[in-house]
Amino acid sequence: MGKKKLSDAFAKVKENSDKAFVPYIMAGDGGLSILEERINLLEKLGATAIELGIPFSDPVADGPTIQAAGIRALKEEVTLSSILLELQKLKGTYNIPIVIMTYLNPIFAYGVKRFAEDCTKAGVDGIIIPDLPLEEEELVSSELEKEEIAFIRLVSITSTEERKTELANKTEGFLYAVTVAGITGTRDSYQNDIGEYLSSLKAISKSPVLAGFGVATPEHVKQLGQYCDGVVVGSKIIDLFQHHDLGGIQKLIQASKCNPVVG
């Protein structure tokens, strides 16, 4: 399904006049045995797709909350291979699109061709690789293309206009708009020109634009949603799962809905 499954999910969100909501969870945080339960819960609560982090020893883009989740997963001896095997086993137990976020090193260690093929077997619809620059992405892009897996690009608030346009033209699935100059993690507020930045990306992107990094409250979800097609929420989702605050997760997701149903 890959690219089509993602585009269908975003089309449905647009049809309902909602904003997309993509929660991030670290695969293996709490053990792989709870992965099915968390995917099913997020689907039931109305998430558009799920971004699944792969634990890695040197996560350069991740803030303390996601780093800690990765360390917990590594202590459970969770690997890229065991995650893909678990997803393959769970295939058919949910309908929500799955996007994997991993660094380049685990893909190389796994083997690029084998990685792409096993992602298809596992029902993975999209891939995000934050440490792979545009100039070197042919290292993996051709194998992902063969498998019809969406290659989602990240664009930075500090990117040049030329770079923004290039990334917007190349991205598949959605364009991941990084809203801060720095690592992931919850924040109290955004800089004043955030609306202008997101609106400018929306004007040039052929794919939906989703804002991520630092989204932590229902107010953030609504605020950013005025300027783009939705949000990605990571650190706050991990934090809420850690505290067993499922109501908090529900409130965040409901903030992306045009006619929220809370209760």
| Active-site annotation holder among 62, 86, 118, 229 | 62
Least Cα distance to 2 among 172, 210, 155 occurs for 172
Q: Which two tokens stand for residue 171?
A: 């991205």
18 is catalytic: no
| Active-site annotation holder among 51, 86, 125, 239 | 51
d(CA 88, CA 171): 26
Backbone angles phi, psi at 47, to 5 degrees: -65, 150
51 is catalytic: yes
Least Cα distance to 133 among 229, 230, 186, 60 occurs for 60
d(CA 125, CA 49): 9
Tell me if 235 sits within 8 A of 183, measured CB to CB.
no
Going by C-beta distance under 8 Å and a sequence separation of 6 or more, which residues neighbour residue 152? 99, 126, 127, 128, 171, 172, 173, 174, 175, 176
The catalytic residue positions are 51, 62
